[in-house]
Amino acid sequence: MALEKAFKEAFEVCPVCGGELAEKRVEKLLRGGPNMATITVEAMVCLRCGERFYPELTVKRFENVRAKLARNQTDGLELVGGAYEAR
């Protein structure tokens, strides 16, 4: 799914460092309570500093997934392994 034209045009250069932006598929780690999930989405990424810019609908999707994780509602999420904490 490609980013909307209006979103891509909103950023001519990176507002953080002035670098060039490119549309890329990126993986984002989301945490909610003790749970974590990864999600792959489209974003504008600065080729100089690596800063990522997400469309509003993508950010809302992040918020929904985080809320589900915090409530231990994993329907619609696929278990792909386990996480361990070193002490």
What are the extents of the domains in the chain? Answer: 5-70
Mean pLDDT across 36-64:
96
Q: Write down the pLDDT at residue 5.
A: 75
Pairing mode of beta strands 52-53, 35-46: antiparallel
* Sign of CA pseudo-dihedral 55, 61, 63, 65: negative
Lowest mean pLDDT among 14-28, 41-55, 71-85: 71-85
Closest CA to 14 of 56, 57, 47: 47
Interval 79-85 mean pLDDT: 80
Q: Which CATH number is associated with domain 5-70?
A: 3.10.20.860
CA angle 7, 31, 53 (to 5 degrees): 15
> Position 12: which residue type?
E
The H or E element spanning position 53 is strand 52-53
Across the range 35-57, mean pLDDT stands at: 95
